[in-house]
Structure 1
Amino acid sequence: MIATDFRSGLERLGDMIAEASVIVPFTGAGISTESGIPDFRSPGGLWARNRPIPFDEFVASQEARDESWRRRFAMQENFAAAKPARGHRALAALYKAGKVPAIITQNIDNLHQASGFALDDVIELHGNTTYATCLGCQKRFEIAWAKDRFDETGEAPSCSECGQAVKTATISFGQSMPEDEMRRAAELARNCDLFMAIGSSLVVWPAAGFPLLARNSGAKLVIINNEPTEQDDIADLVIHHDIGETLGPFVGN
């Protein structure tokens, strides 16, 4: 049901949250725009201006690795300055109240952890851009270390241990989805009674399958997004409105 009136939709959302025992939020880029993190996929977003660099191209091409890191450093000010917004804080309040066991996110900005979620309770389907890893030995590197190497050599950093390419700890196009995270997300979707898809266009698969899995497993489905999604017609409640305004009343509840 699409809420035609924001106030009545907000009241219905409050009732559904109050009635639910196990709530699983699923978040996309829309929840972080209020924090100053640009949306990648929307018209005018980053990917409209810059073609995404696929994983196989990153691995094969020094030029592609250099460009990938150049883009990452260009975004550093946004990521470093970003703080959890109203949406993040509202979900963290539900988590602290015991309503939310864990959160599934397509985001790479670390803002759910910063809002109060334990590291193990943030299921990152697309990884995390606030640190980097070696593609060979999986050694972790901090972004500041990568920037120092890039500034020194003018090239993407290589691992100090094994010499292989270092990449932000994100999942690129063509890169395998993280198996443990996908398994945990599916388990959460199957075992909740309210699934909330927030700020996601629900077009990127297989991640977009989790709301459908939850719905088919008996959960009620809420979609909160500024724009329509392809799954609006199966949801119990759809709110097309600003996420911060929608979830703001639940901060601290």
Structure 2
Amino acid sequence: MKEAVERIARLWPSSGKVLVLTGAGISVPSGIPDFRSPGGLWSRYDPMRVATAEALANSPAEAWRFILDARDVMAAARPNAAHEALAELERAGLIEGIVTQNIDGLHQRAGSLNVVEFHGTMSGWRCNGCQAPKDATRAMEVTPETAPWLCERCGAVVRPDVVFFGEPIPLDALDKSGQLASGAELALIVGTSCEVAPANVLPQLVRQQGGRLAEINLAASRLAPLCDAAVAAGAEEALPLLARLLLDQ
């Protein structure tokens, strides 16, 4: 593994213009199973029944069973060594920013500042009707007996500020991620299979503009053939090693 990580370190631009794209794999060591993996949330719920705007409007009790489960899984998780390594690299000026497909907030809890949450976050809450923001502390107090949480203002169901199936990616996330990709000299893919659009387009944009690609994944992503270097290992092992190599240069 060390030689493969060293190959990524040699690609690293001195400018620090690096975009990091992260997915579910970086948070698995923190206790959050990939939604699509055995034991993940989609093995227990049909996403089309619980994670769409229609489900929230028409079956709020069923949707909230899923929401409570997701809330509790993510609240119990803690940043792991991979999240901490990325935060350390950002503090050193060696990465420009992170675009994450995860909704767990672990990058920020590890200390990363420039994080684009492509699919939203479980840390924010709002009414699905009038869009009024809601207190995250109150969200943690909802129980199976008191769910679903209904808006005190308009009576519509309250939801986490995540992108449900069939909903568009927020324009702000699209804009910020595009800016990071357009200026990057290297894109590092971590813990994602790069199957989900449009996030998987970002590394390709970097490549099209003359930048390099690298990845750290237990299993090769669909963009692996385009990568200049790849590490077949868990992010919690490879990223701390990469950070040490870069910071010691």
TM-score, length-scaled by structure 2:
0.89
Deviation at 1:47, TM superposition (A): 1.4
Q: Contact conserved, 2:14 with 2:94, CA < 8 A, in 1?
A: no
**Pick aligned residue for 1:42 from 32, 37, 41:** 37
Show the counterpart of 1:3.
none
Show the counterpart of 1:223.
215
Q: Contact conserved, 2:216 with 2:235, CA < 8 A, in 1?
A: yes
1:167 pairs with 2:159: yes
Structure 1 residue matching 2:148: 3-state secondary structure: coil
Tell me which amino acid in the other structure corresponds to 1:145. R
Deviation at 1:202, TM superposition (A): 0.6
Runs of 5+ unmatched residues, structure 2: none
Show the counterpart of 1:145.
138
Show the counterpart of 1:88.
83
1:129 pairs with 2:126: no
Deviation at 1:174, TM superposition (A): 0.3
Deviation at 1:223, TM superposition (A): 1.4
Q: Contact conserved, 2:56 with 2:63, CA < 8 A, in 1?
A: no
Q: Distance in 1 between matches of 2:131 and 2:63?
A: 19
Q: Distance in 1 between matches of 2:211 and 2:53?
A: 38
Deviation at 1:130, TM superposition (A): 2.5
1:194 pairs with 2:194: no
Deviation at 1:251, TM superposition (A): 4.9
Q: Contact conserved, 1:40 with 1:46, CA < 8 A, in 2?
A: yes
Q: Distance in 1 between matches of 2:79 and 2:90?
A: 15
Structure 2 residue matching 1:66: 3-state secondary structure: helix
Show the counterpart of 2:27.
32
Q: Distance in 2 between matches of 1:146 and 1:190?
A: 37
Q: Contact conserved, 2:13 with 2:186, CA < 8 A, in 1?
A: no
Deviation at 1:112, TM superposition (A): 0.8
Q: Structure 1 stretch 223-232 or stretch 190-199: which is displaced more? A: 223-232
Q: Contact conserved, 1:130 with 1:142, CA < 8 A, in 2?
A: no
Q: Distance in 1 between matches of 2:143 and 2:167?
A: 23
Q: Contact conserved, 2:105 with 2:121, CA < 8 A, in 1?
A: yes
Q: Distance in 1 between matches of 2:41 and 2:218?
A: 18
CA RMSD of aligned residues (A): 2.0
**Pick aligned residue for 2:97 from 98, 102, 108:** 102
Q: Number of matched residues?
A: 243
What percentage of residue pairs aligned between the two structures are identical?
35
